[in-house]
C-alpha cells in the first residue's frame, strides 16, 4: 500500500510540475497494480483532458466516480471533459451534481458557465461564471470565459473589461487578444481588430510581410485557418502581385484547381511538408491587416474565383438530364450543417427537420450540397431532398461549377458560402444570434460579398423564426420566377 501511495505522490508531483510523460508512467503503473485506485483514475483522466483527449478523460474519471461517487472534484472534472467533448447537455447535468456536492467548486462553476455558453444560454452562463470569478478574482480563464459570454450578449464594453484584465496580468495571453479582436471585428472596428487577430499560430520562420514594398521579392501566401477563410482572403493575392511581389499561394489540394482561376501571374502550389523557397511570407488571414483594410476599403469586387468552363458545362448537362419538373422552377442548393469539429458548430448548424418550411415551397428544385456525416440526414425527412450532388464532387472547383448552374444557394455558415460569395453567386446565409465576426451585426448584407443576403436568428437558438422568414421570401422569389417564365413562354 505504501508503495502505491508513494507512486501516487510521485505522479502528482510530476503532474503539477508539468512533467506529463513521467506522470503518465506513474499513473499507468499504479493502475496496472490496482485498476480501481480512484485517485489515479481521476488524475489520469485530468491528464487526458489536459492533453486534448476528452473521450479518454471521460472514461477514466467516470470510473473514478463509480468507485467514489460522493467526491465533488471528480464530478467537476468529468463535467469539464464532457464539455470539451461537446456533450454539453450531459456536462450541464454532471456539473450541477458536482456543485450540489461542493457549491464552492470554482472549477465546477466555471465549467458549468462554459457549457451553458456552448448551449447559447448566455444569461445563465454569465451567472455561473460571475460566481466562479468571485471565488478566484483575477483568474485568467474565468475572466476570458466570462468576457466571451458578455461579448456574445453584445455587452462589448463589459467584455473588454474582462479581456483587458487578463492582458494586464498576462500581456501575451493569445486567447484574450483573439477574443478581444473578435469583439472589435464583429462591431466593424476592423483596423483595431486585425492587430489582435495576429495572436494566432504562424507556421513559418521567414520574415512576415506587413505591407511594406516588395520590390520583386517572392512572397508566400499560405493557409493558416480553414477552407472558407482561405477563399475569403485569397482575394488579396492579386493586390499583392500589383504591389510588386512575386506571389506564391500555397494551399490545400481541394482548393488547388479553384485557386488556379486567380491572376495568371500568381503561382499556386499544393501545400507540402516543407514550404517552397520564398523571401517573406504572410498568412492569408493577415492580408487585411497588411493592407490596412476597413469597412470602407474592403476589396469586394467579384467574381475573383471561377470554375473551369468544362466543369460548368458538365454539371449543367447533368442538372438538365436530372430535371424531373416541367417547367423546372428555381434551382436551389442546400447546406444545413458545417464541420462538427468547429468550436461553434452546435449553434451555427441546423437540425435537418428545420428545413421543412423551405422544402414545402412550391416551384423550387432543391439539390443537396451537404458534405460530411450530416449528408446522410437528408433521407430522414418525409420525401427527403431528392438530389444529392456532392457524391460526384472531387474538389471545390467542382462545387464552383455546380454553383454556377444554380439560381440560389441557401446555407449555414460554412465554407461553401465563401465560394458562392467569391463567385458572385446569389446566396442566403443563415446565421446564429452570435455570429462569426466577419458577418458583423444587425445587417442583411455583407461588405465582403455583394451577392449574399443574411438571415439572422432574432434570439439565441431560434431557427424557427429565421427559417419561416426564409421560406416566405423564397416563396415570393419562386412565384416571381414562375410568372416570368409564363410571360416569356411562346
Q: DSSP label at 207?
A: P
* Spatial separation of the C-alpha atoms in residues 64 and 78, rounded to whole Å: 10
Side-chain half-sphere exposure of 265, counting CA atoms within 13 A = 14
* Spatial separation of the C-alpha atoms in residues 364 and 358, rounded to whole Å: 9
β-strand partners of 331: 365
CA nearest neighbour of 289 among 198, 219, 200, 226: 198
* Spatial separation of the C-alpha atoms in residues 336 and 352, rounded to whole Å: 7
β-strand partners of 333: 367, 409
Residue with grid cell 499513473, as numbered in its chain: 27
CA nearest neighbour of 44 among 33, 59, 60, 25: 60
Compute CA distances 433 → 26, 73, 154, 231, 441, whole Å. Answer: 47, 34, 10, 24, 9
CA nearest neighbour of 26 among 55, 49, 3: 3
* Spatial separation of the C-alpha atoms in residues 94 and 76, rounded to whole Å: 7
Question: Helix (H, G, I), strand (E, B), or coil: what is residue 82?
Answer: helix
Question: Helix (H, G, I), strand (E, B), or coil: what is residue 449?
Answer: coil
Q: Is the dihedral of CA 312, 318, 322, 323 positive or negative?
A: positive
* Spatial separation of the C-alpha atoms in residues 259 and 232, rounded to whole Å: 12
Contact 336/374 with Cβ under 8 angstroms?
Answer: yes
pLDDT value of residue 225: 87
pLDDT value of residue 239: 94
CA nearest neighbour of 428 among 474, 382, 375: 474
Contact 334/358 with Cβ under 8 angstroms?
Answer: yes
* Spatial separation of the C-alpha atoms in residues 110 and 76, rounded to whole Å: 9
CA angle at residue 84 from 81 to 85, to 5 degrees? 90
Phi, psi of 248 (to 5 degrees): -120, 125
Contact 339/414 with Cβ under 8 angstroms?
Answer: yes
Phi, psi of 307 (to 5 degrees): -80, 165
Residues of the chain whose pLDDT is less than 70?
1-2, 201-203, 322-327, 382-386, 490
* Spatial separation of the C-alpha atoms in residues 326 and 76, rounded to whole Å: 60
Q: Which long-range contacts (CB under 8 A, 24 or more apart) does 180-189 make?
A: 180/147, 181/437, 182/151, 182/437, 183/151, 183/156, 183/159, 185/437, 185/438, 186/151, 186/435, 186/436, 186/437, 186/439, 186/440, 186/441, 187/156, 187/440, 187/441, 188/295, 188/440, 188/441
CA nearest neighbour of 355 among 368, 342, 345, 344: 368
* Spatial separation of the C-alpha atoms in residues 100 and 81, rounded to whole Å: 18
pLDDT value of residue 1: 44
Amino acid at each position: 500500500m505504501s508503495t502505491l501511495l508513494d507512486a501516487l505522490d510521485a505522479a502528482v508531483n510530476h503532474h503539477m510540475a508539468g512533467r506529463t510523460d513521467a506522470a503518465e508512467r506513474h499513473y499507468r503503473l499504479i493502475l496496472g497494480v490496482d485498476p480501481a485506485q480512484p485517485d489515479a483514475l481521476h488524475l489520469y483522466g485530468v491528464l487526458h483532458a489536459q492533453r486534448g483527449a476528452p473521450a479518454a478523460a471521460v472514461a477514466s474519471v467516470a470510473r473514478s466516480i463509480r468507485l467514489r461517487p460522493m467526491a465533488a472534484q471528480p464530478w467537476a472534472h468529468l463535467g469539464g471533459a464532457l464539455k470539451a467533448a461537446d456533450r454539453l447537455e450531459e456536462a450541464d447535468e454532471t456539473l450541477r451534481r458536482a456543485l450540489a456536492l461542493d457549491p464552492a467548486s470554482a472549477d465546477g462553476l466555471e465549467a458549468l458557465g462554459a457549457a451553458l455558453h456552448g448551449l447559447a444560454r448566455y444569461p445563465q452562463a454569465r451567472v455561473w461564471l460571475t460566481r466562479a470569478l468571485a471565488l478566484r478574482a483575477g483568474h485568467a480563464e474565468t475572466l476570458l470565459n466570462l468576457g466571451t459570454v458578455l461579448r456574445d450578449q453584445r455587452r462589448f464594453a463589459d467584455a473588454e473589461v474582462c479581456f483587458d484584465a487578463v492582458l494586464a496580468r498576462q500581456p501575451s495571453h493569445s486567447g484574450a487578444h483573439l477574443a478581444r479582436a473578435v469583439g472589435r471585428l464583429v462591431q466593424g472596428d476592423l483596423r483595431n481588430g486585425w492587430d489582435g487577430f495576429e495572436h494566432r499560430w504562424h507556421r513559418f520562420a521567414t520574415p512576415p510581410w506587413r505591407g511594406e514594398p516588395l520590390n520583386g521579392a517572392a512572397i508566400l501566401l499560405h493557409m493558416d485557418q480553414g477552407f472558407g477563410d482561405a477563399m475569403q482572403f485569397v482575394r488579396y493575392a492579386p493586390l499583392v502581385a500589383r504591389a510588386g511581389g512575386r506571389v506564391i499561394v500555397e494551399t490545400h489540394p481541394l482548393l488547388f484547381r479553384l485557386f488556379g482561376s486567380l491572376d495568371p501571374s500568381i503561382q499556386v502550389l499544393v501545400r507540402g511538408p516543407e514550404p517552397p523557397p520564398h523571401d517573406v511570407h504572410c498568412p492569408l488571414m493577415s492580408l487585411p491587416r497588411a493592407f490596412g483594410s476597413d469597412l470602407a476599403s474592403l476589396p469586394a469586387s467579384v467574381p475573383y474565383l471561377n470554375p473551369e468552363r468544362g466543369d460548368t458545362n458538365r454539371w449543367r448537362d447533368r442538372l438538365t438530364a436530372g430535371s424531373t419538373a416541367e417547367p423546372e422552377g428555381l434551382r436551389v442548393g442546400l447546406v444545413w450543417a458545417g464541420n462538427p469539429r468547429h468550436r461553434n458548430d452546435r449553434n451555427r448548424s441546423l437540425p435537418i427537420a428545420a428545413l421543412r418550411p423551405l422544402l414545402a415551397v412550391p416551384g423550387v428544385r432543391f439539390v443537396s450540397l451537404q458534405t460530411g456525416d450530416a449528408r446522410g440526414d437528408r433521407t430522414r425527412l418525409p420525401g427527403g431532398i431528392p438530389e444529392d450532388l456532392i457524391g460526384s464532387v472531387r474538389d471545390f472547383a467542382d462545387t464552383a461549377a455546380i454553383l454556377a448552374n444554380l439560381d440560389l444557394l441557401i446555407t449555414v455558415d460554412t465554407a461553401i458560402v465563401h465560394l458562392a460569395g467569391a463567385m458572385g453567386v446569389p446566396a442566403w446565409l443563415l446565421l446564429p444570434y452570435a455570429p462569426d465576426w466577419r458577418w458583423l451585426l444587425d445587417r442583411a448584407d455583407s461588405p465582403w460579398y455583394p451577392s449574399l443576403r443574411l438571415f439572422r436568428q432574432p434570439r439565441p437558438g431560434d431557427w424557427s423564426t429565421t427559417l419561416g422568414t426564409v421560406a416566405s421570401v423564397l416563396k415570393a422569389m419562386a412565384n416571381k420566377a414562375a410568372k416570368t417564365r409564363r410571360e416569356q413562354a411562346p
